[in-house]
Each structure stands twice: as structure tokens, then as C-alpha cells.
DNA sequence: AACTATTAATTGTATATACAAATATTAAAA
DNA sequence: TTTTAATATTTGTATATACAATTAATAGTT
């Protein structure tokens, strides 16, 4: 069923969700090569770029709730990809060497994902679409 | 954090998800008046419009998997909003009278949601955005 | 008619995510 | 300095969703 043929095709709720699910799937395919879910991968990349990042900061950047970030970090800890160092109420998250070693492969997965959707949408439309979605997201209430 | 300031702001995965989460929240607010989650409400509206609809058809239109539809129907059954009638391998889903009575209020919730986002985005941008998202969704592989 | 393949729906299980409450910890105010 | 308020994180719990396996029924094929 094409979404443009659905009875729901005029509804932002429906369209935004359907799109997100499909994009998630496409991304999951790219990240599968290193056996990681996209959300884990994005969090890990952020920690690799910014070692010691705090859960609250990560939550802000990823626009996810702190509790979700805690749960994602737990998973990454189980995989020995990050460690937490708590001091007082502050927690810092650091990448392990295992994660650092994985970095090039992660880059490759990300590139693969970009390539995949640019191939489908074209460079211009991809960029425009992402920009529009961000603009829309920013306009919606927190 | 504005998504346009995030390190992830160029990534379709991130943008699509962040948008969907915010839209979900906005919709949930509208549907809260009748104590229903948006996904339940949309499924129920489809069944009200098309009594006897089959789970497979619903899955297609809503672009969700059959198993998810089964789970949603179970919830709606618990709430006495729908009943299932199975004959052979076919299942038909019918709205209860309770659901039919609720219909006007559901319409109102939907209108409220539309109004809410049109107010934020403007009519034209809303329509254009939804169309673009549908187009994009249709282009991505199933 | 008997076997095989396809189809529709469901169930078992796992993941992502959120909200609300709880737990510390630090900062501010009295 | 004691009390109060604010902040950062985690936990308990609930929901939505998916995938893979299962069940049941129908359709096709020989």
C-alpha cells in the first residue's frame, strides 16, 4: 500500500510515523554489518566524538528522554562499548578502546546509510527533506 | 536543543525519528480527551469507516505489521470498542455500539489535532510537508 | 483425492521509548 | 547552618512495535 493511497494520507501523525519506521528499517540494514541498532550507534558516535559526555547532554542532542539514554547506555555497557564514571550527581560516559577500534567501521555504516538514501532520493531532495523536517520539529512544542 | 543545532541534524534517521516522536506527542495530547492512544484511535476510525475490515487490510493501510495490528485490536477489544468474528482463516473486525457512540468525539479529537498543527505550521506548509513525507515514504523500499 | 504451497492471523519474544517516582547530590535561602 | 529547592540520573512500569515461528485454513497441482 502506497501511503499516498491510504485513508490516512493527509494526516501528519500517520505520515511522520510511517516515514520514521521505514527510515529506521533502512538504517538498521546499514548498521547490521556491525550488529548494532541505529540508536545505539548514534549514541556511541556521540560519545566517541565527545568522550565524557553526560547523559543529560546526550538526551538533549538526541532529543530523547534521560531515561531512554540511561537504558541505551546500559546496553552499550553490556557490549563493552562505553563505561560510566560517576562523581556526585554527574555521570560521564567514555568510549572503551573496543569502541574506538570500531569507529572506522561505524563511519562506513553511516556512509552506507547516507549513500543508500541519497541513491533513492537524490542529493538535493535528501538535503531539503531533512532540513524541512528539522524546521518542522523545531516549530513543534517540546 | 533545536534539532537544527544537533550534530545529527543532517541525518535522515535522526530527523525522521525526532519529528515522529514530537508529532506523536502532539497527537497524544489531542486524543487524551477520550483516553485513547493515537494508534488505537486511528485503527478504530478505520474500523468505524469500514466495519468488518480484516487485520491484513488494516495492516496494509496503516503500514504496520500484522502482529502489531493483532496487538492493537486486542487492546481495543479489552476496551469493548471492537469485536472480532473469525470464519476460517479470515477475521473481521467490527466496531461495537460503544465505539459508534464515540465517533463524534473522535472526529473532534482529530480536528483538534489538525487545528493544532495547522496553527503551528500554517495550512500550506502542513499540506506540503505531509505530501513530501508520503512521497519519500513511497520511494523507500518496503 | 492427496499432497504441497500459499495465505491470514496469532503468539512468543525482544527492543525502544516514555512517564512518573525515587535517589542522590548540589545550590540557594532562611 | 539547617532547611528547602533544584538538578542529574536511575528505576519501576507500561506501551508500541517488530521479527520469527506457529497455527489454521484455503487454493493449486499432480
**Interchain proximity B61–A7, CB inside 8 Å:** yes
**Mean of pLDDT over chain B:** 91
Output the pLDDT for position B99. 96
Most distant CA pair in chain B, distance:
55
In chain A, which among 15-54 make CB contacts under 8 A with chain B?
15-27, 38, 42, 46, 49
Residue-wise pLDDT for B14-43, tens only, equals 999 999 999 999 999 999 999 999 999 999
Which three three-digit cell numbers place residue A34?
556491525
Residue-wise pLDDT for B62-104, tens only, equals 999 999 999 999 999 999 999 999 998 899 999 999 999 999 9
- Each residue of B108-125: b (16+ CB within 10 Å) or e? ebbeebbebbeeebeeeb
- CA-CA distance, A48 to A53, in Å (whole number)? 9
What residues of chain A score a pLDDT lower than 50?
none
**Contact between A13 and B24 (Cβ < 8 Å):** yes
Output the pLDDT for position A4. 61
3-state SS string for chain B: CCHHHCCCCCCHHHHHHHHHHHHHHHHHHHHHHHCCCHHHHHHHHHHHHCCCECHHHHHHHHCCCHHHHHHHHHHHHHCCCEEEEEECCEEEEEECHHHHHHHHHHHHHHHHHHHHHHHHHCHHHHHHHHHHHHHHHHHCCC
**Contact between B51 and B95 (Cβ < 8 Å):** yes
Residues across chain A: 142
| Rounded alpha-carbon distances, angstroms, from residue A121 to A28, A117, A125, B27, B53 | 18, 6, 6, 28, 34
Residues, CB < 7 Å to strand C = A 37, 39-40, 64-65, 67-68, 71-72, 75, 87-90; B 17, 21, 25, 54-57, 66-67, 69-71, 73-74, 84, 86, 89-91
Output the pLDDT for position B69. 97
- CA-CA distance, B131 to A15, in Å (whole number)? 8
- Min CA distance, B70 vs chain A (Å)? 18
**Contact between A106 and A34 (Cβ < 8 Å):** yes
**Contact between B86 and B94 (Cβ < 8 Å):** no
B65 at interface of A, judged by CB pairs closer than 8 A: no
| Rounded alpha-carbon distances, angstroms, from residue A63 to A35, A43, A54, B14, B63 | 23, 11, 14, 9, 25
Helix B123-139 crosses helix A97-121 at what angle (to 10 degrees)? 100
**Contact between B20 and A16 (Cβ < 8 Å):** yes
**Contact between B26 and B116 (Cβ < 8 Å):** yes
- CA-CA distance, B64 to B78, in Å (whole number)? 20
Q: Residue A114: list chain B partners with CB under 8 A.
A: 11
Is any atom of nucleic acid chain D found less than 7 Å from the CB of residue A54? Answer: yes
- pTM attached to this predicted model: 0.91
**Contact between B32 and B18 (Cβ < 8 Å):** no
- Each residue of B60-95: b (16+ CB within 10 Å) or e? ebbbbeeeebeebbeebeebebbeeeeeeeebebeb
Which three three-digit cell numbers place residue B100?
459508534
Residue-wise pLDDT for A46-86, tens only, equals 999 999 999 999 999 999 999 999 999 999 999 999 999 99
Amino acid at each position: 500500500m502506497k501511503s499516498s493511497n491510504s485513508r490516512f494520507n493527509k494526516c501528519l501523525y500517520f505520515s511522520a510515523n510511517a516515514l520514521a519506521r521505514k527510515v529506521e528499517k533502512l538504517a538498521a540494514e546499514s548498521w547490521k554489518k556491525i550488529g548494532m541498532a541505529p540508536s545505539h550507534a548514534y549514541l556511541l558516535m556521540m560519545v566517541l566524538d565527545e568522550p565524557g559526555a553526560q547523559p543529560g547532554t546526550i538526551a538533549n542532542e538526541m532529543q530523547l528522554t534521560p531515561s531512554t539514554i540511561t537504558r541505551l547506555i546500559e546496553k552499550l555497557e553490556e557490549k563493552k562499548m562505553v563505561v560510566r564514571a560517576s562523581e556526585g550527581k554527574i555521570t560521564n560516559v567514555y568510549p572503551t578502546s573496543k569502541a574506538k577500534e570500531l569507529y572506522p567501521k561505524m563511519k562506513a555504516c553511516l556512509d552506507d546509510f547516507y549513500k543508500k538514501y541519497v541513491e533513492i532520493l537524490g542529493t538535493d531532495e535528501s538535503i531539503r527533506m531533512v532540513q524541512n523536517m528539522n524546521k518542522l520539529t523545531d516549530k513543534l512544542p517540546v
